[in-house]
Amino acid sequence: MDRDPHGLRRLFYRPDGPAATTLRALAGSGEAGLGLDPVGVSFAFGEIDATDRAWIQGIRRVPRGHRLSGEPGAWRVEPAPPPTGSGVGSLERRLLAALDSVVGRGKRVALALSGGLDSALLLALLAGTFRSSMPAIYVLAPRLAGDAAYDESEAAARLVRSFDLKPIVIEASEQDFLLGLPACIAQAETPLFNAHPVAKHLLFEQLAGDEIDVVITGDGADQVFAGAPSEIYLPIVGALAAASGVALSCPFLDEAVIALAAPSAPDPRKSALREAARGKLPDALVDAPKVPRLAPAIDLARFVDLPRFERLAASLDRPLGLDDARSRTQWTTLSLACEAMGLVV
């Protein structure tokens, strides 16, 4: 069983037990009184960079780009063969080939457009080459107080209209984020340190409701070209899409694109993307610096169960802090994850 180079698809195992693509399948196979793994929880909380330990005791994560072989009690984890890189030509040509594999194939396809360069480049390529079979273009508008810059929907919708296309704007209020949080955690099977993945959950649920078969996203460009960490985000995206029933297409994670980028050192500016986008998108967008954005704080009071949080903290032998938005998100989502997995702590 192989795991892809950037970990979009998950793979877990118990050293003395079975393997599975979901934590839920393995959590149910453990002994009574299954607990929390402090190292795995720290990873989910965004406090450490890497570990093979899941947040549930006794479960291991196969690292991205690795293969699991053998059998329970004698599992072997080793590097998987690298992508074959069968594509030829420039980045633009390889992205077009990846898009061609899903567009105009008898399925209902959508493009999820954010305010950044990655998905904007895909929009430009689609509008220039696949006009007759143009996917629907969805823009999520997170209407959250606290950081107006987090909502990039106005700029994204304006860009769509500049191609004489019509965006489908999905407005998501704080109430939508709060209502969607438990389902997001259950589907992602992990605690979070920020509510940003809830935006993906809400978008995928809307796409499923609109009977979209495949969604194209710009996910993976930061990992492939800039060397950004992947385990803390891409597996969550993959899990949320799978739970919605909408197939996920990430052209930047196409094997030919990965093979093109692999020989070069990580480039935080993603110069290759900027070069491919030059002349297709406004210069202001092409030259804009990369600005990572986390969701602003939302009011999680309805989920706070202080006695439960205290038990969780005690089981992890770490102090309970609820003084800032990040901490409140961590403990709240850990509690929700335990509930979703049937862990009694």
Higher pLDDT among residues 247 and 30, named by residue: 247
Mean pLDDT of 136-165: 96
Predicted local distance difference test score (pLDDT) of residue 146: 86
- Confidence (pLDDT) at 241: 98
Q: Which amino acid is at 269?
A: R
CA distance 207 to 214: 9
Report the percentage of the chain scoring pLDDT > 90. 90
**3-class secondary structure for the chain?**
CECCCCCCCCCEECCCCCEECCHHHHHCCCCCCCCECHHHHHHHCCCCCCCCECCECCCEECCCCEEEECCCCCCEEEECCCCCCCCCCCHHHHHHHHHHCCCCCCCCEEEECCCCHHHHHHHHHHHHHCHHHCCEEEEEEEECCCCHHHCCHHHHHHHHHHCCCCEEEEEEEHHHHHHHHHHHHHHHCCCCCCCHHHHHHHHHHHHHHCCCCEEECCCCHHHHHHCCCCCCCHHHHHHHHHHHCCEEECHHHCHHHHHHHCCCCCCCCCHHHHHHHECCECHHHHCCCCCCCCCCCCCCHHHCCHHHHHHHHHHHCCCCCCCCHHHHHHHHHHHHHHHHHCCCC
In tens, the pLDDT along 276-323 reads 999 999 999 999 998 878 999 999 999 999 999 999 999 999 999 999
Q: pLDDT at position 305, please? A: 95
Average pLDDT over residues 218-230: 95
The pLDDT value recorded for residue 32 is 45
CATH fold label, 91-286: Rossmann fold (3.40.50)
Sign of CA dihedral 182, 14, 246, 197: positive
For range 18-24, the mean pLDDT: 95
Token couple for 211: 């009977």
Every domain of the chain with CATH number 3.40.50.620 lies at 91-286
Q: What is the pLDDT of residue 291?
A: 82
Least confident segment among 46-50, 107-111, 327-331: 46-50
What are 83-93's pLDDT values in tens digits?
766 667 899 99
- Residues 196-222: tens digit of each pLDDT: 999 999 999 999 999 999 999 999 999
- pTM check: above 0.85: yes
pLDDT at residue 55 in the model: 97
pLDDT of 262 over the 50 cut: yes
pLDDT of residue 292: 79
Mean pLDDT of all residues belonging to the chain? 94
